[in-house]
Structures are given as C-alpha cells and as structure tokens.
Structure 1
Amino acid sequence: MHIPFVSSPSSSLGIEWELELVDLQSRHLRCGATEILEDLRGKVGEEAAAKAKHELFESTIEVITGVCGSVPEALADLSGTVDPLRDLAERRGLGLMCSGTHPFSDYTTQRITTDDRYSRLVAQMQWLARRLLIFGVHVHVGVRSPAKAMPIVNALMSYIPHFLALSASSPYWKGTHTGLASSRSQIFESLPTAGLPYPLHDWAAFEQFMETLVTSGTIETIREVWWDIRPHPNFGTVELRICDGLPTLMEIGAVAALAQCLVDRMNTQLDRGYTLPAPHRWVVQENKWRAARYGLDAEIVVDDHGGVRPVRTEIEDLVDDLLPVARRLGCAEELGSVHRILADGASHARQETAARRAGGDLTAVVDTLLAEMNMGRPVTPG
C-alpha cells in the first residue's frame, strides 16, 4: 500500500484546539456548534470560518490553524478564530472553555453531530465512541521526508509523559473525582486504534501495517488510526495527540514550543547521520500511566534498569537543553512558559484547588476554566 507523504517545510507548525460550549447558567455542556459555525461563516467569510469545525458532539467546536512558521504566529492564528467564536457563543448564553473532560456533564445527555463519519464511528465502536466526551490539543510539526517520520515518532515516545503531565486537565468525570490527573487519556486509549503508536522502524513498515489494517477491515482509512503520536501523510507532519485539552493560550504556546523544538532538533540530528533512540514499549506504557495518574507529581522510568526521576526535573532539564533551539525558532518566550506551568501547577491541580475551596462544588471548577480561557493564562492559586 503506497501512502504518499506530502513533505512540509521543516518545523512548520499547526495546532488543533477542541473547545467546549458551556451554558453560562447551568455550567453544563450545551449543543450549539451548528448554529455558531453557520453564523461564523456570515461574520468572517468562508475561508476564515474553515478554521472552526464540528467535532463528534454538538457541544464541541474544534479550532485549527493554518500552516504557521512559528509558535507566536500559530497563537495569533488561534486567537483570530476564537475571538469571533466567543462573541457568537456569548450571544447564545454560552461560554468557551477547554479541559480534558467536563467536570460533571454526562455524555448520555449530549447530541452527536449529524455526519456520516461520526455515524459510522458510533455504529462500529458503540459505547466506546458514545462516551468520547473528551477534549484535546493536537500539535503538528512539519518534516520534509517520510524517511524521517517514523524515526521521529519513535523517538518522541520518550516524551509522552512530559507532554501528558504538563497538559493533564481531566481529574473529574461525570461529577466524580477519578483520582487521575488525566482520565481523558485512559478513556481515549480504549479505542482499538488509539493509544501508544506501534514501533515501526521506517515508512515502508508503516505502509505495510496500514495495508494490513485496511485489508482486515479494522479501519477504512488511515485517518482512523488515532495514536498518541502519529505521522500525518496529507500534512507532511508528525502529530502529537497526547495532550489533554489546555485551558489557555499560554499553555498551548508552551507545549507547542516544546513539540516544535524537539522535532526540529531530531530533524537536525537525522541530517547529521545520527540514529534517534527509541524507548522500550514497556517504559513508554509505564510512564504514560504514571503521568496520567499523578500529573506533574509523577516519577518516571528513565532507564532500562528501573531508575526513576521526577517528571518535573526531566521537564526542567529538557527546557534548558532546548533553549538554543527555541531562540533560533523564535519561541523562547513560549518555551519558557513551561516553567510557569511547573510553578502554578497543571490544570488538573488548579481544578482540584478550585473544587476544594468551593467545598466540592464543581461549578467553581467550570468558572475557573471559563476565566482562564478568557484571560489566556492560568489563574494562579493564591
């Protein structure tokens, strides 16, 4: 099976941000995507409105950037779409926010978007699909050659706990504290073609594996492979899908800068003839679980002998190591925001603080997330 790879300029960037539509009175999720998207076309025109689209549920709108050259450009692109969406939502008594899960809305009360693709998904996956009331951020980074795609995907698996710990924002599910920093990651990986990528050593192995999945009827197209990190042939990118929904532009900038710098460095190493290291699957699986369970308080496995280090320390060292790359790419400020997340806590911790201060009232969590979305930065616990 030949899969064309549309090469991209090295380290070009694209971001996808899944937003929740929240009733400002009840703080529950509420349908409204179709009407808002129709009004957006009338307000900004077809081309600009194409950067906002439907998702599985009518209470979700996904905002996407164009192909950007830098993190600041991507953040400005997102803002240019979110700002008119926010105005249109507020006219309907709705607010925009983002978190890995809504703290208390029940998926059984939400309407699935009318679309053949989503209908097929639900028909095939049944309960697994119907409960996918979850929200994430996806970061695409361009690579020039399919020969580089799989080595970079494999090497990025070492950093799954870093991205998940920084973004973990789903401690609550249907009104219950799950005990996890990221319940979203566990819900999503229940799909048979989601979760950790298979370690495929080159593009030919990827093509062969995709052919097997299509021939066996497991998938209809390669779009139905939703790995935490995957190559995206049509865009010519490596796509990081591991992140929980991020409430603020500042946090999106931080993880986007981290992703762009890592891929750029790996791209350079491949050009120089280096072989990128690929971690053992058991280490990746264990570290993903630890980040999902404990967030930034996780201790992750750092060698084949079971040695561990705090993920915070690993992230701090990584940011310092990548700073020269970030300066060259024009995202040093955004990469530095990783330190702000480490200081203030990831979203799951901020949500838990808001709930605790409100005596367990989870509407306070929604109010915090709405405020953070509007401000573009985390609400600092005080």
Structure 2
Amino acid sequence: MHIDFSPSPRTSLGVEWELELVDLDTRELTGASDALLAAISPEGDGEHPKAKHELLQSCVEVITGVCTTVAEARADLAGTVGELQGPAAERNVGLMCSGTHPMTDWSTQRVTDTERYHQLIERNQWLARQLQIFGVHVHCGVRAPEKAIPIVNALLGYLPHFLSLSASSPYWIGSDTGLASYRSKVFEALPTAGLPYQLGGWEEFEKYMDILIHSHAIESIREVWWDIRPHPNFGTVELRICDGLPSLDEISCVAALAQCLVERFDHQLDDGYTLPEPRPWLVRENKWRAARYGLDAEIVVDNTGRVQPVTEAITNLVEDLLPLARRLDCAAELELIPKLIERGASYQRQRACAAAHEGKLEPVVDLLIGEMRDGLNL
C-alpha cells in the first residue's frame, strides 16, 4: 500500500485546540456546538474554515492554517476564538479547555450527528462514548517522508516532557482521580490510540497501515490516533499527547518546544545522524509517570534505570534548544517554560483552587474559563 506524503518545505506549524462549551449557570458541559458554528460560519451552515465539530456537541475544535512561527499560530487561534466569544456569551456559554471537565458525567453528553462519529461509537461502544476528553495537537512540518518515522521514534523520548507540562485532567465526573492526566489513560483504551509502534521506516509504516485496513481494524489511517503520529496529508509529524491547555500562553510553550525538536531532528537526519530510539519499556514507564505525577515525576533517562526530575529534564532541554529557537523566532515562547513550571501546570492550579474552596469544583470551572479569557501573564 502506497501512502502519499506531502512534504513541507520547512518546519511549519499547525495547532488544533479542543474547546469545552460550558453552561455558565451550572458550569456543566452543554451541547452548543451546532448553534455556535452556525453563528460564525460565513453561510450560516456550520461550515467554518477554522472551527469544527468534534465527537461531542459540547466541544468545538479550533484549528490554525499553516504557520511559520509560534506567534503566527497563536494569533491565528486567538482570531477564531474571538469569533466564538460573542455568540457564546449571547447563549450563556463559556469557553475553556482542560483534559477533562471536572464534573460532567460523560453519559449525559450528545454525540455529534455524523456518519463518522456514529461508526466510531458502533465500533468501540462505551470506550468511545466515554471520550469526554479534550486535547491540543501540534503539527510540525517534515521535509521528506523517510524522515517522518525516525522523528516520531525520537520524539517518544520527550513524551513525558510534553505530557507533564500539559497535564490538566485530575478530575473525572466530580472525583479526584489521583492522576495529573486522566485523559491520557481514557484515550489509550481505544485499540488504535496510545503509544505508537516503533517502526523501521516509511515502508514499514505503509505495510502496517495496509494490514490494519485489510484486516478491518480501521477503514482509513485517520483512525490511528497515536500519541505521536505521521500525518501524510499535511506532511507533518503530529504530537497528540498533550492534555487540553487552558491558555494561549501554555499552547505557545508547547508549540515552541515541538517545533524546535522537530527542526533539530530534521537537520540531524540531513547531517547523516541516526536519531535515538528509546526502548519501548522506557517510553511506557515514562508516560505512566508523567500521567500519574505530572511535574512531580521522576523519569527514567537511560537503559540502566537512572532517573531525573522531569522539571530538571525540561529546563535543561529548554536551555539546549534556545539557539535553535532564536533561528525559528520562538525563543520568547520557549523561555516561558521555566516560568510555567514555577506557576504550576493546570492540574496543580485546579487542585489548589478546589482546596481553597472546600473541595468544590464549580470554582475550578470558573478558573479555567478565566485562564482562557485572560491568559496566565507568564
């Protein structure tokens, strides 16, 4: 099976941001996507170039065009969110983003009425019905198909960095799960989600996709929802590991880190280097540690079992990538990461808010709405 890959001329950038739609009276999720998308679509038919339906009617996905810099992607997202804010306010709907909603029961939510989503539910049953989860996906352009799989494999070594920074789903249906990122555990229950298989190259990727399709495991490669995956149509590597991020400040941090790493790996391949491939056991263990402990995790850094605080690993990586970030014009965003660590990831801020309000979660929803509206001012 041949899979066309549309190479990107540079390490371009695209971001997808899944927004929760919240009833401002109850603070619960509300199925307002049809009304909001109709209000902002040019023809009033719900078709908007940069805002889309998602599985649940309580979510709208905002997407950028192909961007060159992090600042351009941020401005693109902000423009579309700005279009949504007025119609949302008119309908008493708040906009926010977190890996999971702190309180809402997934069984109360309506599925968007499309054939694709109905087929997803039919195939996966409750595993799909429970996908009341929200994420941020970052696409980074890759200049040749033969580079995509080595870059995916190399990025697995940095999976805990992205997950711990973005972890924002400590709560599930009103209870504290004890995890920093419960979303990552919910999503990997699907048979084609979670950690990618570490394949040997593009031809092996094509063969594996061919087997999945012919064995009726999937109907198209769009149904392979790995934490990090190649996206042939866009000519990118897509990082899907991140929990939903409440603010554009945090999205900028994550996008800058992703763009710098992919740029580095792309040029190392040009220079004849063989990119590192962490052992599968190490990748799995580090994902669990990041999901469980977030920024308090100690991650395994080599095959001897040596560990390092993930905050130290992230801080060292930022310093190492700064010269490259200056060339990509994202140094300012990358340098915000230590400030974000000091401020605390979203799961930490949510728990602190709940503790300050005797465990009540409505104030946590208000916090998340406010962070999307006002930013973190890092």
Partner of 2:358: 359
Shift of 1:340: 1.5
Partner of 2:301: 302
Query: Does the 8 A contact of 2:5 with 2:233 survive in 1?
Result: yes
Query: Does the 8 A contact of 2:39 with 2:46 survive in 1?
Result: no
For residues 239-250 of structure 1, the aligned pairs below 5 Å read 239-250=238-249
Aligned to 2:133, the other structure's residue is in SS state coil
Query: Does the 8 A contact of 2:37 with 2:46 survive in 1?
Result: no
Aligned to 1:327, the other structure's residue is in SS state helix
Q: Kindly indicate whether residue 172 of structure 2 is the aligned counterpart of residue 173 of structure 1.
A: yes
Shift of 1:361: 0.4
Q: Which amino acid aligns with 2:128?
A: A
Counterpart CA distance in 2 for 1:44 and 1:339 is 43
Aligned to 1:147, the other structure's residue is in SS state helix
TM-score (norm 2): 0.98
Counterpart CA distance in 2 for 1:38 and 1:168 is 32
Shift of 1:279: 0.3
For residues 1-382 of structure 1, the aligned pairs below 5 Å read 1-42=1-42, 49-377=48-376
The 1:325/1:43 distance shift into structure 2, 3 A limit, reads farther
Query: Does the 8 A contact of 2:38 with 2:45 survive in 1?
Result: no
Q: Which amino acid aligns with 2:371?
A: E
Aligned to 1:11, the other structure's residue is in SS state coil
Query: Does the 8 A contact of 2:34 with 2:46 survive in 1?
Result: no
Aligned to 1:254, the other structure's residue is in SS state helix
TM-score (norm 1): 0.97
Shift of 1:45: 10
Shift of 1:42: 3.9
Deviation string 1:173-224 (CA, Å, 9 cap, x unpaired) is 0000000000000000000000000000100000000001001100000000
Aligned to 1:314, the other structure's residue is in SS state helix
Shift of 1:9: 2.0
Shift of 1:377: 2.0
Aligned to 1:4, the other structure's residue is in SS state coil
Counterpart CA distance in 1 for 2:134 and 2:46 is 25
Shift of 1:289: 0.1
Aligned to 1:230, the other structure's residue is in SS state strand
Deviation string 1:246-284 (CA, Å, 9 cap, x unpaired) is 000000000000000000000110000000010000000
Counterpart CA distance in 1 for 2:211 and 2:85 is 43
Counterpart CA distance in 1 for 2:319 and 2:249 is 18
Counterpart CA distance in 2 for 1:76 and 1:44 is 24
Shift of 1:43: 8.6
Shift of 1:339: 1.1
Counterpart CA distance in 2 for 1:376 and 1:57 is 25
Aligned to 1:201, the other structure's residue is in SS state coil
Counterpart CA distance in 1 for 2:204 and 2:141 is 20
Counterpart CA distance in 1 for 2:138 and 2:34 is 25
Deviation string 1:99-154 (CA, Å, 9 cap, x unpaired) is 00000001111110000000000000000000000000000000010010000000
Counterpart CA distance in 1 for 2:350 and 2:43 is 34
Counterpart CA distance in 2 for 1:337 and 1:192 is 36
Query: Does the 8 A contact of 2:101 with 2:171 survive in 1?
Result: yes
Counterpart CA distance in 2 for 1:320 and 1:268 is 19
Counterpart CA distance in 1 for 2:339 and 2:212 is 42
Counterpart CA distance in 2 for 1:332 and 1:116 is 43
Q: Which amino acid aligns with 2:355?
A: R
Shift of 1:44: 9.8
- Unmatched 5+ stretches in structure 2: none
Shift of 1:10: 1.9
Counterpart CA distance in 1 for 2:44 and 2:6 is 29
CA-based RMSD of the aligned residues comes to: 1.3
The 1:9/1:176 distance shift into structure 2, 3 A limit, reads same
- Percentage identity across aligned positions? 61
Deviation string 1:28-59 (CA, Å, 9 cap, x unpaired) is 00011011101101499998x31000000000
Aligned to 1:80, the other structure's residue is in SS state helix
Aligned to 1:18, the other structure's residue is in SS state strand
Counterpart CA distance in 2 for 1:45 and 1:262 is 39
Aligned to 1:156, the other structure's residue is in SS state helix
